[in-house]
């Protein structure tokens, strides 16, 4: 029997547009609620150290009203841990974070920071929060994740998504398939995400071991085009109505 597959919608880039003007809209919490109504199974918000898009109050406001679940994406820092323990999201996803990067560039080195990550996972576990570690499709990193007791991994699909040609894409896909199967065989919940778009999602969604896909940029980009005609029509209608009344 096939297991279901779930969609986590990342609304960071709604906040990116808001922060470009520093105002109140578009509100990523409104976007998250609309995504829930449209069928999202959960919402991801990444609170970066530099607060370039999502702000602390977004996390707090959404955690208080979600009808699905909040996946709070963060770096493994004291500051983020404190906020997670206060807000109590359903899940946290730990990612490596560099201030100068445009977006998350690679998976965590779980092997290189096992003690720190284990302490982090234990603390979250004690608070009833499931920890997901964002890692590359690599067996050693998967084993280390299982060893420290994190229940969930998110496989970084960025190299698959950004592959320069079909041969590289097929090789990256093969890594993801075997990593997902291996992690599943160890009893881990297997999520995946980064760079997934309308034209590359299906090969990943086909992988039976994968539980949830986290997708953001392509959804917000598509929504601009599916929504722009209506927005322009409404603006024009208001202008013409004002001129001739």
Binding site for ligand PXP (CB under 6 A): 10, 12, 46, 73, 93, 95, 103-104, 134, 154, 193-196, 214-218
Instruction: Please identify, using beta-carbon distances, which residue of 43 and 209 lies nearer to ligand PXP.
Output: 43
CB of 158 to ligand PXP, least distance (A): 7
Contacts of 64 (CB under 8 A, 6+ apart): none
Residue 53 near residue 42, CB atoms below 8 Å: no
> Is 211 designated active site?
no
CA-based nearest residue to 16, from 31, 35, 38? 31
> Is 73 designated active site?
yes
CB of 219 to ligand PXP, least distance (A): 7
Instruction: Please identify, using beta-carbon distances, which residue of 80 and 93 lies nearer to ligand PXP.
Output: 93
Instruction: Please identify, using beta-carbon distances, which residue of 61 and 217 lies nearer to ligand PXP.
Output: 217
CA-based nearest residue to 49, from 22, 71, 27, 80? 80
Identify the active-site residue in 13, 46, 53, 211.
46
C-alpha distances (whole Å) from 156 to each of 8, 25, 127, 131, 207 are 14, 30, 26, 16, 14
CB of 58 to ligand PXP, least distance (A): 14
Instruction: Please identify, using beta-carbon distances, which residue of 10 and 138 lies nearer to ligand PXP.
Output: 10
Q: Report residue 3: phi and psi, to 5°.
A: -85, 150
> Is 101 designated active site?
no
Helix (H, G, I), strand (E, B) or coil at 162: coil
Identify the active-site residue in 73, 97, 154, 172.
73
CB of 30 to ligand PXP, least distance (A): 18
Q: What angle do CA 57, 212, 42 make, to 5 degrees?
A: 30
Instruction: Please identify, using beta-carbon distances, which residue of 29 and 214 lies nearer to ligand PXP.
Output: 214
Which helix or strand (DSSP H or E) is residue 225 part of?
Answer: helix 217-244
CB of 131 to ligand PXP, least distance (A): 13
As annotated, the active-site residues are: 46, 73, 194
């Amino acid at each position: 029997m096939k297991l279901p597959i779930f969609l986590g919608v990342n609304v960071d880039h709604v906040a990116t547009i808001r922060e470009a003007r520093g105002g109140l809209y578009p509100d990523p919490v409104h976007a998250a609620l609309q995504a829930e109504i449209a069928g999202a199974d959960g919402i991801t918000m990444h609170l970066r150290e530099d607060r370039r898009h999502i702000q602390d109050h977004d996390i707090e406001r959404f955690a208080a009203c979600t009808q699905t679940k909040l996946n709070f994406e963060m770096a493994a820092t004291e500051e983020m841990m404190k906020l997670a323990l206060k807000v109590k999201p359903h899940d946290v996803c730990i990612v490596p974070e560099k201030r100068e990067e445009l977006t998350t560039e690679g998976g965590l080195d779980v092997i290189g920071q096992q003690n720190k990550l284990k302490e982090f996972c234990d603390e979250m576990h004690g608070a009833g929060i499931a920890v997901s570690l964002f890692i590359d499709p690599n067996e050693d990193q998967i084993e280390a994740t299982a060893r420290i007791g994190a229940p969930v991994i998110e496989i970084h699909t960025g190299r698959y998504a950004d592959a320069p040609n079909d041969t590289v894409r097929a090789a990256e896909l093969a890594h993801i398939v075997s990593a997902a199967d291996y992690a599943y065989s160890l009893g881990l919940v297997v999520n995946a995400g980064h760079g997934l778009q309308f034209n590359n999602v299906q090969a990943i969604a086909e992988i039976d071991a994968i539980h949830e896909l986290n997708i953001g940029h392509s959804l917000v980009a598509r929504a601009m085009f599916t929504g722009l005609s209506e927005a322009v029509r409404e603006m024009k209608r208001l202008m013409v109505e004002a001129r001739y009344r």
